[in-house]
Amino acid sequence: MTRREWLIGGGILAASARRVIAQMAHMAPMPQAPPLFEPREMTPFVDPLPIPDVMRPVGTRLNSSGKPVPYYNVPIQEFFGKIHRDVPPTRFWGYGKSVPGPTIEARSGEEIRVEWSNRLPSKHFLPIDHTLMGAGKGRPDSRAVVHVHGARVPPASDGWPEQTIVPGESAICTYPNQQEPALLWYHDHAMGINRLNVCAGMAGLYVIRDAFEDSLNLPSGEYEIPLVLMDRMIRTDGQIYYPVSPVPDAPWMPEYSGNATLVNGTLLPYLDVKPRKYRFRILNASNARFYFLSLDEGQVFQQIGTDQGLLPAPVAVGRLELAPGERADVVLDFADHRGRRIVLHNQSFTLMRFNVASDAATDTSALPKTLRAVPKIAESTAVMTRRLSLVEVDNVLSEPSIHLLDGKRWHEPISEKPVLDTTEIWEFFNLTEDVHPIHLHLVRFQILDRRPIDVSTYVYDKKTLYTGDAAPPEPGEAGWKDTVRVTPEASTRILVKFEGYTGRYVWHCHILEHEDNEMMRPYEVIAPARK
């Protein structure tokens, strides 16, 4: 028996039998895509790179200790936006009136409150699969719930996937910002339709800063620029296309990737820059696409930060890899490129162009040799190791139909219950042939290592047979992370300190199609037992 046969024949199949039988019954060809824009045939670099507005508070509210804190009100609504000069306006469901939504600027240790108000139309414009968990028939289409990815927040404000609001409702969330500076992002997390809501436009940035980071004198103000990457398929009428499976009442697709990559909501934009240093804060907000970013002429990125903030020191990176949910903080120096045009690529795709001015510019910013200390958590402080598998269950056509974490579905009882303020090792065994970006809410962690394993020994003999040496994280990953690329047929170990709050949170694959189809599990941080 091959591994695939085992997975097909095994007990896990029962869980997805309905879908498999449905697909057997309809061995229909894939529904044809409507005519799409082909970015390679479009005029590039005609639209300036938009920078999302900074969100303005509507007032203050007293927090639990009677202190006034900034209060924001954000509508979740439908609007139309121009993604390119030659593309008709695109319908979005997003925050405020732009994709990405307005950027929240916060200071470390200073709480804010946000009222998220659902003002969406009642009917979804992307194809809901009512056979998925939490998306059953009879549930309103326009459910939404906001999660701030990477934020340490109490469970009631974390965006529990089932705590959705419908049009006319709002949710008031507290964000204490008791954490180090980082580029976080807010996005939808509604159970079973998350991939559709995010694809429709529900994502925005959330930046935390502090005095120490300010004191480093990194490029700032107009020289600090976010780059939010989202790939889409765009129909020739300008509208987002989300493909469907051949099964009419189970349209879920295993992964969404588009040929058109929007940078800050714009296709093939340009950015006029001065010949000096810039800080770019890059987010992969795509549903499933991994990026491998590079610059013309082999220029390198000076990577200064990762998901949860600054690295100990800058690292030179020629090809920057970002899985869905991951962030990179980089400095680019255009000083030696006066009058040049520099293109940012993702593999063979063109993303955008930097037009460097020919006049000299003054630059008083710095790229310090050391940034922020990232004290290594000692492996010996871990109170336990949780061994968690990532498995793929294929249908009879050998197409992935479902992925599970530790062989369990969302609704099974909570099995991971770390104790507050303890450190654990989570060891992921990826038995699949794909990289899955695994994200834990609430916490930050450090990557210990990745090590190849023999998958059939793991599956048949329930034993771990390592088949190679453990590799440390890449230099650009050697900081605080909240999303880790769990590589195929290997073990990936992370060291996690469960800090902040007790309560229920989730962990999941950040490929949103996987997350929506059972590749998400609850976990609970529990209080230490009283002595």
- What are the residues binding ligand C2O (CB under 6 A)? 147, 149, 187, 189, 325, 439, 441, 506, 508, 510
508 binding partner (options ligand C2O, Cu ion, none; Cβ < 5 to 8 Å by kind): ligand C2O
Q: How far is the CB of 484 from ligand C2O (least distance, A)?
A: 13
By a kind-dependent CB cut-off of 5 to 8 A, residue 232 interacts, out of ligand C2O, Cu ion, none, with: none
What six digits make up the tokens of 288? 């499933």
Choose among ligand C2O, Cu ion, none what residue 187 binds, the Cβ cut-off being 5 to 8 Å by kind.
ligand C2O
Instruction: Give the pairing of strands 68-81 and 90-95.
Output: antiparallel
251, 22 Cβ separation under 8 angstroms: no
Q: Which residue is listed with tokens 């051949």? A: 246
Cβ(524)–Cβ(416) below 8 Å? yes
Residue 189: name its binding partner from ligand C2O, Cu ion, none (Cβ under 5 to 8 Å by kind).
Answer: ligand C2O
Provide the minimum distance between the beta carbon of 171 and ligand C2O in the complex, in angstroms, as a whole number. Answer: 16
Q: Of 133 and 335, which CB lies nearer to Cu ion in the complex structure?
A: 133
Say if residues 107 and 177 touch (Cβ distance below 8 Å): yes
Nearer to ligand C2O, 202 or 448 (CB): 202
Choose from ligand C2O, Cu ion, none: what does 199 bind? Cβ within 5-8 Å by kind.
none
Spatial contact of 307 and 329, defined as CB atoms under 8 Å apart: no
Instruction: Report the nearest approach of ligand C2O to the CB of residue 364 (Å).
Output: 36
Partner from Cu ion, ligand C2O, none binding residue 274, C-beta < 5-8 Å depending on class: none
Q: Which residue is nearest to ligand C2O (CB)?
A: 149
**How far, rounded to the nearest angstrom, does the alpha carbon of residue 320 sit from its chain's CA centroid?**
16
8 Å CB contact between 142 and 121: yes
**C-alpha span between 427 and 510 (Å, rounded):** 17
Output 69 or 74, the one with its CB closest to ligand C2O.
74
For residue 215, the minimal CB distance to ligand C2O (Å) is: 30
Token readout for 240 is 């987002």
Residue 515: CB minimum distance to Cu ion, A: 7
Cα gap 470→365, rounded to integer Å: 39
**Residue 515 burial (CB < 10 Å; 0-12/13-18/19+)?**
buried
What residues make contact with Cu ion under the rule CB under 5 A? 149, 436, 441, 509, 511, 514
Closer residue to ligand C2O, CB minimum distance, 286 or 430: 286
Nearer to ligand C2O, 245 or 517 (CB): 517
Q: Residue 446 carries which side chain, given as an amino acid letter?
A: Q
Sheet with strand 270-273: strands edge to edge: 270-273, 349-356, 341-346, 291-295, 320-322
CB of 376 to ligand C2O, least distance (A): 25
337 or 441: whose CB is closer to ligand C2O? Answer: 441
- Residue 175 vs 223, nearer CB to Cu ion: 175
Q: Which does 325 bind (CB under 5 to 8 A by kind): ligand C2O, Cu ion, none?
A: ligand C2O
Nearest distance, CB of residue 5 and Cu ion, angstroms: 22
Q: Please, what is the minimum distance in Å from the beta carbon of residue 179 to Cu ion?
A: 13
509 binds, among ligand C2O, Cu ion, none (CB under 5 to 8 A by kind): Cu ion
Nearer to ligand C2O, 255 or 296 (CB): 255
Distance from C-alpha of 434 to C-alpha of 486, rounded to nearest angstrom: 9
Smallest distance from Cu ion to CB 151, Å: 8
Query: How many residues appear in the chain?
Result: 531
Return the one option of ligand C2O, Cu ion, none that residue 511 interacts with (CB less than 5 to 8 A, by type).
Cu ion
Q: How far apart are CA 149 and CA 442, in angstroms?
A: 8
Instruction: Using the minimum distance from each CB to Cu ion, give the nearer residue, 134 or 324.
Output: 324
Q: Which of 352, 520 has the CB closer to Cu ion?
A: 520
Task: Give the torsion through C-alpha atoms of 304, 307, 308, 314, to 10 deg.
Answer: -10
Q: Structure tokens of 204?
A: 């925005």
CA dist., res. 261 & res. 276, Å (int): 26
Q: What does the DSSP assignment read for 402-449?
A: EEEETTB-TTSPP---PBTT-EEEEEEEE-SSS-EEEEESS--EEEEE
Q: Tokens at residue 464, please?
A: 């771990």
Q: Rounded to the nearest whole angstrom, what is the least distance from the CB of residue 184 to Cu ion in the complex?
A: 8
Q: Which does 19 bind (CB under 5 to 8 A by kind): Cu ion, ligand C2O, none?
A: none
Nearest residue (CB) to ligand C2O, 285 versus 317: 285
Pick one of Cu ion, ligand C2O, none as the site partner of residue 436 (Cβ within 5 to 8 A by kind).
Cu ion
Of 285, 289, 299, 312, residue with least CA distance to 476? 312
For residue 100, say if its preceding peptide bond is cis, omega within 30 degrees of 0.
yes
To Cu ion, the closest distance from the beta carbon of 372 in angstroms equals 22
